[in-house]
Structure 1
Amino acid sequence: MTTAEQGGTPKVQLIDITEEQCDQRLDNFLITFLKGVPKSHIYRIVRKGEVRVNKGRVDVKYRLETGDQVRIPPVRVAEKAPETFVGQHLQDALAASVLFEDEAFMIINKPAGYAVHGGTGINSGIIEGLRSVRPNAPFLELVHRLDKDTSGCLLIAKKRSALKKLHTLFREDQVQKTYLALLAGQWLRKKLLVSAPLQKNQTQGGERMVFISKTGKEAETLFRRLKLFPDCTLVEAAPKTGRTHQIRVHAASSLGHPIVGDERYGQDDVNKAFRSRGYKRMFLHAATLQFTHPVTGALLTVSAPLPQQLDDLLTYEERL
Structure 2
Amino acid sequence: MTTPEILFEDGETLVIDKPAGLPIERPRKGGHSLEDHLEALKLGFQRPPVPVHRLDTDTSGCLLLARNPKALKRFNRAFEDRLVGKTYLGVLDGLPQGEEGTIELSLAKISSAEKGWRMIAAKKGKPAITHWRVLATQNGKALIEFGPETGRTHQIRIHALAGLGAPLLGDPVYGRVHGKSSGAARTMLHAAALSIPREGKPPVNATAPFPADFAALGFADPVG
The residue that corresponds to 1:101 in the other structure is: 9
Mean alpha-carbon deviation: is it higher for 207-216 or for 100-109? 207-216
Alpha-carbon distance between aligned partners in 2 of 1:218 and 1:315, rounded to the nearest angstrom: 32
Amino acid paired to 2:18 = K
Alpha-carbon distance between aligned partners in 1 of 2:182 and 2:169, rounded to the nearest angstrom: 10
Amino acid paired to 2:148 = P
Judge conservation of contact 1:187–1:228 (CA < 8 Å) in 2: no
How big is the shift at 1:111? 0.3
Taking a change above 3 Å as real, the CA distance of residues 224 and 134 of structure 1, as seen in their structure-2 partners, is closer
Which is richer in strand? 2
The residue that corresponds to 1:151 in the other structure is: 60
SS in 1 for 2:217: helix
Mean alpha-carbon deviation: is it higher for 137-146 or for 306-315? 306-315
Task: Give TM-score, length-normalised by structure 1.
Answer: 0.63
How big is the shift at 1:124? 4.4
Residue correspondences, number: 217
Q: CA RMSD in A?
A: 2.1
Per chain length, whose mean CA-contact separation is higher, i.e. which structure has more relative contact order (CA < 8 Å, sep 6+)? 2
Cα displacement string for residues 222-264 of structure 1 (whole angstroms, at most 9, x for unaligned residues) = 1111112231011100111000000000101121111001011
Q: Does 1:129 align with 2:33?
A: no
Judge conservation of contact 2:128–2:152 (CA < 8 Å) in 1: yes
Q: Does 1:285 align with 2:196?
A: no
User: Over alpha carbons, which structure has the higher Rg?
Assistant: 1
Judge conservation of contact 2:171–2:181 (CA < 8 Å) in 1: no
Gaps of 5+ in 2: none
SS in 2 for 1:166: helix
Percent same amino acid among aligned pairs? Answer: 34
How big is the shift at 1:198? 0.2
SS in 2 for 1:250: helix
Judge conservation of contact 1:150–1:284 (CA < 8 Å) in 2: yes
The residue that corresponds to 2:208 in the other structure is: 304
SS in 1 for 2:161: helix
Q: 1:118 is matched with which residue: 5, 15, 26?
A: 26
Alpha-carbon distance between aligned partners in 2 of 1:204 and 1:241, rounded to the nearest angstrom: 29
Taking a change above 3 Å as real, the CA distance of residues 163 and 206 of structure 1, as seen in their structure-2 partners, is farther
Alpha-carbon distance between aligned partners in 2 of 1:306 and 1:154, rounded to the nearest angstrom: 15
